[in-house]
């Protein structure tokens, strides 16, 4: 009897434990609720599982868990224009006020036309013009002064479509993904073609990504002393790192020194980062975000049969490479049940 | 009576708590046992206390706790020659074997003389020669191939005085300091004039500092594809970051994006890093290590009245600046009761 009693007791206990665990499993909330069930979400969840389960053949030690994210068009909206380009354009009037002679000089005169409403005029701006504008608005000042200016602008600026601060236009599913990867021991980095000091002014607040985990394009600086004798780092009009295309792989090596296990991008500027990531040993996840949702966001790139634009260049050859190399392609339209936290 | 009982009881309880706490405090082991009691150790402990105690006016949020360390001469021995220079010199014979025509060409012929025992010949090598040797031994290969070569050399190489691997010649008090700072929420970085990819091959094992927390001098790389179609980053003979002098402050801004709260160095190459650190708001700790212990290590620099050597340049003006700016100066002889873990 005693044995039987214990046997029954232990069965009941076992059943209780099972029920408890089952209940717990069901009670566990989905870490990616804005993602629809399907191959894309499954590829992400499977990757995290095999790389973080001890004993798995593809287990990755926590110290090596690096995931890199492009920003514009991958973590937040990049249309109709990169937010930093908007910052540069909208900094021109103050510049012209201080130096009125610039009002009649290109590219400053072109920018004034654009800001007066002639949006088509923006097409006149060449790469060289943009660098001239960047140099005029974002150099010759200390890093601290630049950071203060950028923060002031970001607090006041509104995007043309949603009339919200740019910092609210992040994709909810990507925010969930950042949190999910971090909860699984991944260190998340932004690897952006944008200016790294610009992105560093808000990345911690907006994405929970600290300055030292933001890799981006960078101007050189000059070490000098202020009138108070204190050292200053002055931004120089000289490009030190062009963090686009091959620059992304090179700068990941330079600034992180480890090959990522997962990388996320949305344009030809991310191609080498995705290639470099995928070429590593073991399980690697390379992901492209396809903007195919004209209603909730924008539609551009190959799925729409549209020519690639300068902003957010997602070309047919890039799409073909993704398929060939076994990268995962997110369809914004089909894979996400919600795009922004402020919209249902 | 009851009140009296409780009063006695609570007194006893209070006494017990006090004893328990006292015992606990005594049982707490000193985190810096290799440091002699004195002003230097006290300055470090006080700094950690005021920056990590909640409610302290100089409290630093954990995310902002950055401490940067020069490597050669600050974390490990730099005399008679930087270990990476030894690596470059000792890589020359294999190079000459592959390309025999180099044996009669300077600077390769000079290096062969040095390795044959003519140590004075090393003085013939100019900065330009050293860069030529670096280019010949450490470029034109992938980052992975370089890393494998460097690891192989480090495992076999022995320093001339202690006949030990270079990686054992770290200062025990500095290892304790790294651990102490990390235990108090500081993120520890190496900021070295040496090649960052060279230092990254061992920093995690030797100091517990991961690759992404090693900032150093860096050559440019080229993104290309191997015969298997896989991407490769090839080291180029072009200096991208010269992480010495003003380069240290500039590269801290570039790669970390935060001003350190504590910085440690030992030579003129660290001056701007120490200035930049000390110039920040709140409590900041800038520290110079003075090599004044000819018996246990080496003595060089101002305290010895010796001229600064090219290696480990600690000049009188640097010492004067330290005094003027309120930096802490470690006397190896007086502040450390043990220098290496392998020596008593």
Pairing between β-strand B285-290 and β-strand B328-331 as defined by DSSP bridges: parallel
Separation CA B333–CA B296 (nearest Å): 8
What are the Cα distances from residue B113, in Å, to B91, B105, B156? 14, 12, 21
State in Å, rounded, how far the first CA of chain B is from the last one: 61
Please judge whether A223 and B249 are an interchain contact, meaning their C-beta atoms are less than 8 angstroms apart: yes
Q: Are residues A114 and A213 in the same domain?
A: no
Separation CA A286–CA A329 (nearest Å): 9
Please judge whether B221 and A255 are an interchain contact, meaning their C-beta atoms are less than 8 angstroms apart: no
CATH number, domain containing residue B291? 3.40.50.1000
Q: Are residues A252 and A105 in the same domain?
A: no
Taking phi first (over 0 means left), then psi (-120 to 50 degrees means alpha), and beta for anything else, what does residue A232 get? beta
Question: B153, B33 in Cβ contact below 8 A?
Answer: no
Q: Are residues A97 and A245 in the same domain?
A: no
Classify residue B136: in a domain, yes or no.
Answer: yes
What are the Cα distances from residue A154, in Å, to A80, A81, A140, B239? 17, 15, 21, 36
Write down the pLDDT at residue A305.
55
Write down the pLDDT at residue A18.
44
Classify residue A149: in a domain, yes or no.
Answer: no
Tokens 């490769």 locate to: B232
Classify residue B99: in a domain, yes or no.
Answer: yes
Q: Are residues A280 and A330 in the same domain?
A: yes
Residue B124 has which token pair?
């013939």
For B10-64, how does the pLDDT look when each residue is reduced to its tens digit (9 = 90+)? 444 444 444 444 444 445 699 999 999 999 999 999 999 999 999 999 999 999 9
Cis peptide before B80 (omega within 30 of 0): yes
Residue B207: list chain A partners with CB under 8 A.
Answer: none
* Count of A-B CB contacts under 8 Å: 82
Angle at B185 between CA B181 and CA B186, to 5 degrees: 50
Question: A272, A251 in Cβ contact below 8 A?
Answer: no
For A179-212, how does the pLDDT look when each residue is reduced to its tens digit (9 = 90+)? 999 999 999 999 999 999 999 999 999 999 999 9
Write down the pLDDT at residue A84.
95
Upper half-sphere CA count for residue B138 (Cβ side, 13 Å) = 27
Please judge whether A257 and B223 are an interchain contact, meaning their C-beta atoms are less than 8 angstroms apart: no
What are the Cα distances from residue B104, in Å, to B96, B101, B137? 10, 6, 17
Q: How many CB atoms lie within 10 A of CB A86?
A: 17
Q: Are residues B66 and B89 in the same domain?
A: no
Write down the pLDDT at residue B120.
86
Closest CA to A190 of A275, A82, A263, A290: A263
Residue B2 has pLDDT above 60, yes or no: no
Question: A122, A115 in Cβ contact below 8 A?
Answer: no
For B137-153, how does the pLDDT look when each residue is reduced to its tens digit (9 = 90+)? 999 999 999 999 999 99
Closest CA to B195 of B137, B246, B253: B137
- pLDDT band of residue B311 (cuts 50, 70, 90) is low
Write down the pLDDT at residue B306.
54
Please judge whether B256 and A197 are an interchain contact, meaning their C-beta atoms are less than 8 angstroms apart: no
Per-residue burial over A226-251, b if 16 or more Cβ lie within 10 Å, else e, is eeeeebbbbbeeeeebebbbbbbbbb
Q: In what order do the strands lie in the sheet with B262-265?
A: B231-241, B214-225, B187-195, B66-69, B262-265, B285-290, B328-331
Write down the pLDDT at residue B10.
47
Please judge whether B254 and A218 are an interchain contact, meaning their C-beta atoms are less than 8 angstroms apart: yes
Residues paired with B68 in a beta bridge: B189, B263
For B81-129, how does the pLDDT look when each residue is reduced to its tens digit (9 = 90+)? 899 999 999 999 999 999 999 999 999 999 999 999 888 888 899 989 9
Write down the pLDDT at residue A120.
86
Q: Are residues A247 and A297 in the same domain?
A: yes
- Nearest by CB: B279 against A66, A230, A279: A230
Please judge whether B250 and A258 are an interchain contact, meaning their C-beta atoms are less than 8 angstroms apart: no
pLDDT tens, chain A, 344 aa long? 344 444 444 444 444 444 444 444 444 699 999 999 999 999 999 999 999 999 999 999 999 999 999 999 999 999 988 999 999 999 999 999 999 999 999 999 999 999 998 988 888 999 899 999 999 999 999 999 999 999 999 999 999 999 999 999 999 999 999 999 999 999 999 999 999 999 999 999 999 999 999 999 999 999 999 999 999 999 999 999 999 999 999 999 999 999 999 999 999 999 999 999 999 999 999 999 999 999 999 998 776 655 545 556 788 889 899 999 999 999 999 999 999 999 87
Task: Return the DSSP state at B57.
Answer: T
Q: Which structural domain range is residue A130 located in?
A: 83-141
H or E segment at B246? helix B246-255
Q: Number of helices and strands (H, E) in chain A?
A: 13, 7
Write down the pLDDT at residue A4.
45
Classify residue A229: in a domain, yes or no.
Answer: no
Please judge whether A254 and B221 are an interchain contact, meaning their C-beta atoms are less than 8 angstroms apart: yes
Q: Are residues B105 and B207 in the same domain?
A: no
Classify residue B226: in a domain, yes or no.
Answer: no
Write down the pLDDT at residue B5.
41
Residue B134 has pLDDT above 90, yes or no: yes
Closest CA to A86 of A157, A144, A135, A149: A157
Write down the pLDDT at residue A343.
87
What are the Cα distances from residue A118, in Å, to A87, A101, A134, B49? 17, 21, 21, 58
Write down the pLDDT at residue A113.
94
Mean pLDDT of chain B: 91
Question: B254, A240 in Cβ contact below 8 A?
Answer: yes
Residue in A with minimal Cα distance to B196 = A254
Residue B212: list chain A partners with CB under 8 A.
Answer: 66, 187, 212, 255-258
Question: A35, A336 in Cβ contact below 8 A?
Answer: yes
Classify residue A266: in a domain, yes or no.
Answer: yes
Write down the pLDDT at residue B232.
96
Write down the pLDDT at residue B301.
77
Q: Are residues B203 and B341 in the same domain?
A: yes
Q: How many CB atoms lie within 10 A of CB B147?
A: 17
Residue B273 has which token pair?
């890093």
CA distance A61 to chain B (A): 13
Which residues does B contribute to its contact with A (CB < 8 Å)? 63, 66, 143, 187, 196-197, 200, 204, 210-212, 214, 218, 220-221, 223, 230-231, 233, 240-241, 246, 249-250, 253-258, 272, 275-276, 279
Q: Are residues B90 and B211 in the same domain?
A: no
Q: Are residues A185 and A312 in the same domain?
A: yes
Classify residue B25: in a domain, yes or no.
Answer: no
- Nearest by CB: A250 against B221, B246, B258: B221
Classify residue B227: in a domain, yes or no.
Answer: no
Question: A101, A223 in Cβ contact below 8 A?
Answer: no
Please judge whether B211 and A272 are an interchain contact, meaning their C-beta atoms are less than 8 angstroms apart: no
Q: Are residues A47 and A188 in the same domain?
A: yes
What are the Cα distances from residue B210, in Å, to A262, B146, B177? 19, 18, 17
Give how many domains chain A has, as a whole number.
Answer: 2
Q: Are residues A57 and A171 in the same domain?
A: yes
Q: How many CB atoms lie within 10 A of CB A129?
A: 15
Write down the pLDDT at residue B8.
46
Residue A209: list chain B partners with CB under 8 A.
Answer: none
- pLDDT band of residue B275 (cuts 50, 70, 90) is very high
Closest CA to A236 of A250, A216, A251, A218: A218
For B278-307, how does the pLDDT look when each residue is reduced to its tens digit (9 = 90+)? 999 999 999 999 999 999 999 987 766 555
């Amino acid at each position: 009897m005693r044995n039987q009693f214990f046997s029954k007791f232990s069965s009941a206990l076992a059943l209780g434990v099972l029920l408890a665990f089952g209940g717990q499993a069901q009670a566990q909330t989905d870490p990616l609720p804005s993602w629809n069930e399907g191959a894309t979400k499954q590829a992400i969840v499977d990757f995290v599982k095999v790389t973080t389960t001890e004993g798995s053949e593809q287990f990755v030690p926590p110290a090596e868990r690096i995931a890199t994210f492009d920003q514009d068009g991958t973590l937040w909206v990049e249309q109709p224009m990169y937010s930093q380009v908007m910052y540069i354009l909208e900094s021109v009037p103050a510049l012209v006020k201080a130096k009125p002679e610039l009002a009649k000089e290109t590219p400053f005169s072109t920018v004034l036309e654009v800001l007066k409403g002639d949006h088509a005029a923006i097409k006149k701006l060449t790469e060289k013009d943009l660098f001239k504008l960047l140099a005029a608005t974002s150099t010759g000042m200390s890093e601290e002064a630049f950071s203060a200016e950028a923060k002031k602008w970001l607090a006041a600026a509104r995007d043309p479509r949603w009339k919200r601060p740019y910092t609210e236009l992040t994709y909810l599913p990507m925010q969930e993904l950042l949190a999910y990867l971090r909860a699984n021991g991944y260190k998340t980095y932004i690897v952006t073609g944008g200016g790294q000091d610009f992105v560093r002014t808000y990345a911690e607040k907006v994405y929970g990504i600290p300055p030292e985990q933001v890799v981006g394009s960078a101007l050189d600086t000059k070490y000098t002393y202020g009138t108070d004798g204190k050292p200053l780092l002055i931004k120089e009009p000289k490009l030190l790192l062009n963090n686009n295309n091959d620059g992304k792989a090179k700068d990941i090596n330079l600034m992180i020194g480890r090959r990522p296990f997962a990388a996320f991008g949305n344009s030809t500027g991310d191609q080498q980062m995705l290639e470099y990531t995928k070429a590593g040993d073991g399980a690697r996840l390379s992901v492209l975000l396809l903007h195919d949702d004209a209603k909730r966001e924008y539609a551009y790139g190959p799925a729409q049969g549209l020519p690639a634009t300068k902003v957010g260049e997602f070309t047919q050859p890039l799409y073909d490479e993704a398929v060939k190399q076994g990268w995962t392609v997110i369809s914004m339209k089909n894979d996400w049940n919600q795009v922004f936290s402020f919209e249902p």
